[in-house]
Amino acid sequence: MHEWALAEAIIYTVTEIAEREGFREILSVNVKVGELQQVDLETIKFALTQLKRGKLEKAEFKVETVKAKLKCRICGEIWDFDKDKLDEEVAEAIHFVPEVAHSFIKCPKCSAQDFEFMEGRRMYIESVGGIR
């Protein structure tokens, strides 16, 4: 499961933030994941609880999906990502590397593949809370 790799990335980053910003203990971490990544939330949360150590021992992780919106650079159309319209292999490829959506998804209005991800692409750590 590549959710474990993502969870590990979160742990490394929060550990670094804790050091840099002088936290003694981290109590809460808010993570957003883009819908395009189609991350399994239960798996990633489980991985996070298994991997947390040291200053992160008591941290509660909140992981939420952000809906993916795409915008055509040619005609301006904005549309929602719909996983169910893709075949399984394509959905899996996008799950690993969301940008390959440019190989498979077209603007529903003008068929261009020159679109941008307005939101719901990336995973990021929104906030970190704890005791300094």
Partner 1 sequence: MFDPRITVLEHRLSQVNNIFAVSSGKGGVGKSVIASVLALILARKGFKVGLMDLDFTSPSTHLILGVKDIFPKEKEGIVPPTVYGIKFMSIVYFSKDKALSLRGQDFSDSFLEILAITRWGNLDYLILDMPPGINDATLDVVRFMKRVKFIIVTTPSLLSFSTVKKLLDSLHTSKVEVLGIIENMKIENSSSIREHVKGTRFLGEIPFDPQLEKCFGEVRELLSTEISRKLEKIVDKIIYQNV
Q: Which pairing describes strands 25-34 and 124-131: parallel, antiparallel, or unpaired?
A: antiparallel
For the CB of residue 90, give the shortest distance to partner 1 in the complex, in Å: 8
Residues between 83 and 122 with contacts to partner 1, criterion CB under 8 A: 89, 93-94, 96-100, 102-104, 113-114, 121-122
CA-CA distance, 32 to 122, in Å (whole number)? 8
Binding pattern for the stretch 42-81 against partner 1, x by CB under 8 A and - elsewhere:
----------------------------------------
How far is the CA of 127 from the CAs of 12, 20, 57, 75, 92, in angstroms?
A: 15, 14, 17, 35, 29
Q: Which does 91 bind (CB under 5 to 8 A by kind): Zn ion, partner 1, none?
A: none
Task: Rule CB under 8 A: say whether 21 interacts with partner 1.
Answer: no
CA dihedral (37, 98, 102, 86) positive or negative? negative
Question: Which candidate, 33, 24, 32, places its Cα nearest to that of 58?
Answer: 24
Residues at the interface with Zn ion (CB under 5 A):
72, 74-75, 77, 107, 109-110, 112
Among 23, 68, 123, 130, binds partner 1 (CB under 8 A): 123
Task: Rule CB under 8 A: say whether 13 interacts with partner 1.
Answer: yes
